[in-house]
Homo-oligomer: A and B are copies of this chain.
Amino acid sequence: MKFLQTLAVALVFSQAVSAQKQDSIMLRKIFDEALVNGKSYQNLEYLCKKIGPRLSGSANAQKAVDWTKQLMDGYGFDKVYLQEIMVPHWVRGAKEVAKIISGSKQFTVPIAALGGTVATPKAGLTAQVIELKSLDELKTLGERAIKGKIVFFNRAFDPKPIETGTSYGEAGDQRRSGPSEAAKYGAVGVIVRSLTHAIDDYPHTGATTFNQGGLNIPAAAISTKGANLLSSLLKSGPVKFYFKQDCQWLPDAVSYNVVGEITGTEKPNEFITVGGHLDSWDLAEGAHDDGTGVMQSIEVLRILKALNYKPKHSIRAVMFMNEENGTRGGKKYAELAKQNSEKHIAAIESDEGGFTPRGFSFEASPALVKNLNTNWKSLFEPYEADRLTVGGSGADIGALGDSIPGVVLIGFRPDSQRYFDIHHTPNDVFENVNKRELELGGAAMAGLVYLIDQHGLPAGN
């Protein structure tokens, strides 16, 4: 009996070793396919150079929908289809103008209207500036100090966190909620220090949110050099700020998520989603944000198909629409998943740039992530993409997590150092993407999809 037990243990162990070996071979094939025959880089070039900026509701966003559908049709995926949604439609209008007025001196500074804000009067807006470092100071200072002024939020990125997303998260309230909060205290406009470590002349746009019915005031990001200048001038006395922006809201527009699918051979109604967002800010090509994510997602399916891999579960690449200013694509995807009684095992989002992969973060229990480290870390180690941690995923798949019980949300985690140098600026262009970094990321995602398809994810997230 003891002998049989030992034999059984040995057998299970040898099967485990053999599975590990098979997985290791498959991951090497995936990376080879990505590095030798990869298509994500040329596809990204098309998206960036032939289509370009593609904010929700724009003609370019529609072109991007049409082209990615056509691309996936061409790859012969089992299903390629659109999910219709209504998206917000905000336009920047004429390029912004801004000046610091300090005594008799004027300094032109680079600004960019924040997405979702309104135009200044046609002649522009001039008011005295008050510099704050946090939203809390609004309350401390009160309406008397703020009314009629332009509030200048100037809390810099903290240099100490190793991952730049942490600093972005910490400073981000200034852009996201600063304008709406300042409006409540009577501010006539808001200028926000650009959300970046870099000290340069590029303003970083991005969404700001006004509650339904809340007062919408003109608000813009100022470059970090501009912010430093404004702050230094404020030290020597009162300063006025002049700015002019031309943005407006148009009626909601029809748009689409684009979905490609390889249908599962064993459990076709159980899904693993990989996705990024197809829309991008209007100032640049949306290369790292998030052209790389959508091209990697398509690449995951292309790689698996090229290797003639027949997944057990259905694998979907989703180009979500409207991450930047509404996440309506993500919400629609979740809504339809629920409506169609789909079972979702996992969803992976790539929306932190197409840089060298470092690993993945899981919105899951430490126990699950410990299991993954025990079983899968060594498989990713040769590809230097083996940091498997508890952490966030992505804005587009959040709604899926809320709608579908049991789905594990996963964020693709590339190296974070360069992302916020170019994020939401005119520098987010194809030339700033490295071919191999992009390909390695797509391969890492394909590897994870393969492992989840083969072995599932331990429960308990």
Contact = CB atoms under 8 A, between A and B. Distances in A.
Given A35-B160, A162-B31, A436 B384 contact: no
Contact of A437 (B159, B418, B440): B418
B159 A36 contact: yes
Interface residues of A, number: 26
A164 B384 CA distance: 13
Contact of A358 (B36, B160, B382, B384): B384
A155 B162 CA distance: 39
Interface string A133-164: 00000000000000000000000000110111
Given A31-B162, A32-B160, A358-B384, A418 B440 contact: no
A197 interface: yes
A197 B436 contact: yes
Contacts of A35: 159-160
A421 interface: yes
Contacts of A160: 31-32, 35-36
A425 interface: no
A286 to B, nearest CB: 21
Interface in A399-445: 415, 417-418, 421, 434-437, 440
Given A421-B434, A436-B417, A162 B387 contact: no
Contacts of A436: 159, 164, 197, 417
A67 to B, nearest CB: 24
A292 interface: no
A356 interface: yes
A166 to B, nearest CB: 12
A185 interface: no
Interface of A: 31-32, 35-36, 159-160, 162-164, 197-198, 356, 358, 382-384, 387, 415, 417-418, 421, 434-437, 440
